[in-house]
Amino acid sequence: MKPHPDAVIKAFEQTGVIPVFYHDSAEISMEVLKACYEGGIRVFEYTNRGENARHNFSVLRDLKLASMPDLYLGIGTIKSAAEAKQFADIGADFIVSPIADAETGAYCKEQNVLWIPGCMTPTEISIAEKNGAPLAKLFPGSVLGPGFVKAIKPLFPTMKFMPTGGVEPEKENLKAWFDAGVVCVGMGSNILSKSVIENKDWAGLSAKFAQTIAYIRALV
């Protein structure tokens, strides 16, 4: 049974930071997911960015079902309704797109699966809103910046926003985003760094996510 989109959105808001990750190795992917979970993460976005994405996602889904009952596991980099269906069929709790594709939005709405489209302009946010997306991914966050969120929020008072790309796990950067009105942030290589993965510093990764969550909870 798939979770209701409202429940997933609530978890996004409560966790505050969403890991965004892909690795060709299923074993590495599992270790990263476990480290994130131990650090307090309850929403995790795996990305469809390699030939092993479907296999690895299935492995992560099984790990989640076995030992992480309160985790929401979603798939990112979904650019079509067909891709959304592939991953929804193998247990994705939510779908993240780099684009505002109306067909993907329509499929997710029909299936009652949370769809989070990537947006960079008011027009794209409007497309997302008209196709039932309650949360828009602002990408790349490093280009748009907190000032964009402040400017756009009055135009879309019911839309929630999550910047991804360039968000840093530091107090000042997080404060700027949350003061601007975002409900959560997506983080990839700025926290899931190449060196952490290569050194398999899973304890350090858990600690970094725990620290980042603590920073965010002090802000909101």
- pTM for the whole structure: 0.96
Nearest CA among 140, 207, 205, 194 for reference residue 167: 140
The CATH number given to whatever domain includes residue 128 is: 3.20.20.70
Q: What is the pLDDT of residues 156-212, one digit of tens each?
A: 999 999 999 989 999 999 999 999 999 999 999 999 999 999 999 999 999 999 999
What ranges make up the beta strands (E) of 123-174?
A: 135-138, 160-163
What is d(CA 40, CA 61) in angstroms, rounded to the nearest whole number? 18
77 located within any domain = yes
Domain assignment of residue 186, yes or no: yes
Domain count, the chain: 1
Contact 213, 19 (CB under 8 A): no
For residue 17, give Cα distances in angstroms to 7, 47, 176, 199: 16, 16, 14, 23
For CA atoms 129, 133, 139, 142, give the dihedral sign. Answer: positive
* Pairing of the two strands 43-47 and 17-21: parallel
pLDDT of 2 higher than 90: no
- Section 140-149 average pLDDT: 95
The residue range of the domain holding 117 is 5-212
User: Three-state SS for 117?
Assistant: coil
How much is the CA Rg of the chain, to the nearest whole Å?
A: 16
Region 98-126: mean pLDDT is 96
Residue 219 in any domain: the answer is: no
Number of Cβ within 10 Å of residue 10's Cβ equals 14
